[in-house]
Structures are given as structure tokens and as C-alpha cells.
Amino acid sequence: MKPAQQNKLNGHKEFEFTKSDFDKIRALIYRRAGIALTESKQEMVYSRIARRLRATGTTSFASYLDSLEKGKDDGEWEAFTNALTTNLTSFFREEHHFPILAEHVRQVKEPIAVWCAASSTGEEPYSIAMTLCEAFDTLTPPAHIVATDIDTNVLATAEQGIYTADKLERLSAAQIKRFFLKGKGDQDGLVRIRPELRQMVTFKPLNLLASGWPISGQFDAIFCRNVMIYFDKPTQGNILARFAPLIKPQGLLFAGHSENFSYVSDAFRLRGKTVYQASDRRVAAGSADTVEAGTPQ
């Protein structure tokens, strides 16, 4: 590596961070989670992994990565993966999807099962839960949601279901009153999702690259939004092929606004804006240690 290139990468950083370090991190996170980091992510990677160096008392990226590769510390592998996972979410993000979901579930046979494959801090699965409640006009609809994420930190937040009130800006006053409990006293400014909605959702850690998924049965809808953009095309195709047998014949797959699966897999056909439906050409796949679709845990 040329000295000028090295200086540009390091600047006035606390830790030395070489191109070799960055390339090793890219390889590790790709192998672990399928995330394909571009060259433009160097500053982000430095910032997030430098926190792990401080937390572990490590003095260099080289020694941290060497320890990570040689060791069997699942906790640090989990922390490493969590650090590089982006979790941008909000209630009713890409809101055009939710009326489509509501219309779909009204037309299918009960009970309803939905898989949210990138739960993050819970806003998406709870938005799905609110949509199902409104579709059936009850806080206890005949439905269950399985919500998964690779990041265990955000899953812990999601399970609590507690948010700052400003997170509800996209919701109507009627929705806030119906679906949330407002905090009082030292909890002022916070809201909690109603227990009826919380009981609709099973949260579970899941790595989409794992050889076996803790999922079984078939779903009326799968939400996998703004996740595939971090994967290369072969990885996207493999994941879509594994989704196919887990979705009902008329089930829907919801993608993110910048994702297009039409040229990646023939397992799904485009139905509308970032909404797909299972095609006739499906690929069988198995799973183990499963959570049944539609079954609360």
C-alpha cells in the first residue's frame, strides 16, 4: 500500500487502520452475514469497529481481527456483527405496503401468518400488527407475526416495545390512542406498545445466511425490506429461493424501495411497486429448530 494511500485512510485516527484491515473486515462480515461492504464504507467501518477495540481493550485492528478469527468467543462475533448492521427503520415506513397487506389478509383463509425478516427495533413488525388489527377491527386478530433479525441488540429493544413519543409522527391520533400506552412520571415522553400487539409477535434471532432457519410452515406475507441491498446478486438469489417454499401460493413478498428481485430469481413475479407474488417455479428448502408460522411462542 502506498504511503499517501495509507495516510488518507488513517488521517488523525486513534487506531491504525490499514487497507488490509478493511479488506479483512469485509471478508469476515460477508462470510458471517452476507453483507457486501463497498470501498465507500471505510469510515463507517472504522468508527463502528473502533468501539469494539475500546470495549475489549485491544490496541490495534490487526490484533482484534486476529483474535476474532482465532477465538471461539461467540459473544464478540455477535458484537462484531451487530456493530456492522445498519438498522434504519420507522413506523409505517414505505407506507404504501400496508394497505396492500390489509386488503390481502381480508381475502385469505384465517389464521394469518406474517414473517418480518428484518425486525430491527420493532417498528416494522408492530406496524404490521397494527395493520392486521385494523383489517379485522380487533386488538386480537386471527394472526401471528414472526419477527427476526441478525442483530440481538435491536431485538432486545423490539421485545420491550418502548419508544420515544416522537417516533409516532406518522401515526394518527386515533392509532396512537388505540395501540400505545403513554408513560407517566419518570416515563413521560415514552410510549409502550399495547400488550395485545406485543403478544402477536414472536421475536427471534436469525441470520439469513445460516444453513438452517428457525422458521417453518407457510406465510401469507413475508417482509424483507431494505436488507437485500447489502447482499450481492448470488446471495440474494439463494435467499429468495429459500423464501419460496415458506410462502403460500398467493402470498406476498414485500421488498424495499430500492430493491428489485425481478432479475435475481424466477421464484417470484412482480405484482406491483416493490410487491412480489410467488411464481409457479419454486425451489424446495428445509429448516430445523423451527418456529411454526402463525404459532405464538
For the chain, which domains are there? Answer: 3-83 (1.10.155.10), 97-292 (3.40.50.150)
Nearest to 200 by CA among 253, 168, 165, 159: 159
Q: For the segment 7-52, what is each residue's pLDDT rounded down to a tens digit?
A: 445 556 788 999 999 999 988 888 877 777 888 788 888 988 898 8
Please check the confidence at residue 178 and state whether its pLDDT lies above 90.
yes
Q: Tell me, what's the pLDDT at 6?
A: 45
Q: For the segment 41-91, what is each residue's pLDDT rounded down to a tens digit?
A: 888 889 888 988 998 898 899 999 988 888 766 678 878 887 887 666 889
C-alpha cell at 55: 470495549
Q: Tell me, what's the pLDDT at 286?
A: 41
Q: Give me the phi and psi of 83, to 5 degrees please.
A: -65, -30
Q: Tell me, what's the pLDDT at 132?
A: 97
Q: For the segment 94-153, what is each residue's pLDDT rounded down to a tens digit?
A: 899 999 999 999 999 889 999 999 999 999 999 999 999 999 999 999 999 999 998 888
Distance CA 201, CA 160 (A): 12
- Burial classification of residue 201, based on how many CB atoms lie within 10 Å of its CB (0-12 exposed, 13-18 middle, 19 or more buried): buried
Element (H, E) at 149: strand 143-149
DSSP notation for 90-122: -TTSSTTHHHHHHHHHHHSPSSEEEEES--TTT
Distance CA 31, CA 28 (A): 5
Q: Tell me, what's the pLDDT at 9?
A: 52
The residues annotated with a catalytic role in the active site are 48, 149
Distance CA 65, CA 73 (A): 12
DSSP notation for 206-227: --TTSSS-SEES-EEEEE--S-
- Beta-bridge partner residues of 203: 147
Please check the confidence at residue 211 and state whether its pLDDT lies above 90.
no
Q: How far is CA 246 from CA 3, 171, 223, 241, in A?
A: 52, 31, 12, 10
- Burial classification of residue 76, based on how many CB atoms lie within 10 Å of its CB (0-12 exposed, 13-18 middle, 19 or more buried): middle
- Beta-bridge partner residues of 192: 162, 181
Distance CA 276, CA 141 (A): 24
Sequence-distant (6+) residues with CB within 8 A of 127 are 91, 92, 93, 98
- Burial classification of residue 248, based on how many CB atoms lie within 10 Å of its CB (0-12 exposed, 13-18 middle, 19 or more buried): middle
Q: Tell me, what's the pLDDT at 283?
A: 42
User: Which amino acid type is present at position 110?
Assistant: E
Q: Cell 484491515 appears where? A: 21
CA angle (66 as vertex; 71, 3 as ends), nearest 5: 170
**Alpha helices for 215-272 (secondary structure H):** 233-243
C-alpha cell at 75: 459473544
Please check the confidence at residue 228 and state whether its pLDDT lies above 50.
yes
Q: For the segment 253-270, what is each residue's pLDDT rounded down to a tens digit?
A: 999 887 888 777 788 888
As a whole number, mean pLDDT of residues 181-192 equals: 90
**How many angstroms from the chain centroid is the CA of residue 150?**
7
User: Which amino acid type is present at position 17?
Assistant: F
